[in-house]
Amino acid sequence: MPGRKLREERELFYTYLRQNGMKKTRQKDLILEVFLTTEGHLSVEDLYALVKKKDRKVGIVTVFRTLKTLTGCGIAREIALGDGLTRFEHSYHHPHHHHIICTQCRKAIEFVSPELERIQEEIVRKYHFQPLLHRLQVYGICEDCLEHRPAPEPPRLDTEKIFARDALRMAILMETRGLAFYRDAARRNLDPDGREVLKRIVEEEEKHLADLQAELKRFCRMEKGLETAPVFLHFDPCELERLVPDLEEYEVDGTLRLDTRRSLEMAMVLERRAAEFFKDYSAKFLETEGKRIFVQFAEEEQRHFESIRRRAEEPLSV
């Protein structure tokens, strides 16, 4: 459903107009449409040029005024990228993010970092500020400019989709790591019953991982260039590593011997931690496709946890 967001944005705009006693006009419609169907960091001049292609009678003043309205209802967001121009970017369902800006070719890459948000919150609290918004801008010279390559025209992609892609990738990383853990545990477990239990979980994890990978593939096929677009969501893989139990703690005299019950308990630790981590993690984001993916993944891990717990509670089954 690629048009759902567009429809919601249009609806938001026209509701905003109505609620503020403003009128729907041909010009506003056109400017809205052009803005919504163009990704990137547009200056008023940029947008005016695009609008003029479709209707040369529209004045730049109307573009100024309509952008102000779009900002007012949360569809657009003003940004300054250091070149003296006020630029506008999509705001609706567009995750809050920061920019890395190339001072030579003016290309701006977006990224988000939950760790950064945490630091910002801490600092604001320290100064007793009521935070409104914050932005980090990193200026530098991009790889292309450094190597005197002509900057390839960046595919204009919807950041929400890139965020969703990164969310899926993060879930896949978690699942891959979990799978490796269970495989290792199954291989090393000298208890035959426990080994069978763990093998079953390996199979379940393989299934889940395959599903996630299929979802990512399907997702990336939806839009050309999505697979190779720069990373948007920055996360520290160490954070996931912390969720994985330490097998050594389950060893006795250097050997692993976990019966059915202990194997299931160990698996429950990992699944519960993953479910909690992703639940908390998802809470940091505004309503977006990426958030939905995190929530869904957390629920799947929760379900897997519960399924394992049920096995542990049936004393005679494997």
Residue 127 interacting with a second copy (CB under 8 A): yes
Contact 271, 305 (CB under 8 A): yes
Burial status of residue 145 (CB atoms within 10 A of its CB: 0-12, 13-18, 19 or more): middle
Shortest approach of DNA to residue 38 CB, angstroms?
17
Residue 213 near DNA by CB under 7 A: no
* DSSP reduced 3-state for 78: strand
Instruction: Find the binder of a second copy among 32, 42, 102, 167 (CB under 8 A).
Output: 102
For residues 277 and 297, give the distance between their C-alpha atoms in angstroms, rounded to a whole number.
10
Choosing from 123, 210, 286, 318, the residue that interacts with a second copy (CB under 8 A) is: 123
Of 6, 62, 100, 247, the residue at the interface with DNA (CB under 7 A) is 62
Q: Does 60 bind DNA (CB under 7 A)?
A: yes
Is 44 among the residues that bind DNA (CB under 7 A)? yes
Among 45, 121, 211, 236, binds DNA (CB under 7 A): 45
Binding-site member from 8, 45, 115, 203 for a second copy (CB under 8 A): 115
Q: How far is CA 106 from CA 144, 146, 198, 212, 288, in A?
A: 12, 13, 52, 36, 27
Count of CB atoms within 10 A of residue 260's CB?
A: 20
Closest to a second copy by CB, 138 or 222: 138
Kindly indicate which of the ranges 16-24, 132-140, 186-194, 231-239 contains the residues binding DNA, using the contact rule CB under 7 A.
Answer: 16-24
- CB-based contacts of 145: which residues, under 8 Å, 6+ apart? 102, 104, 105, 151
Does 137 interact with DNA (rule: CB under 7 A)?
Answer: no
**Contact call for residue 151 and a second copy (CB under 8 A):** no
Piece in contact with DNA (CB under 7 A), picked from 56-64, 111-119, 261-269, 280-288: 56-64
Q: What are phi and psi of 49, to 5 degrees?
A: -60, -45
CA 74 from chain centre, in angstroms, equals 20
Q: Which residues bind DNA (CB under 7 A)?
A: 17, 21-28, 43-45, 57-62, 64-66, 68, 84-86
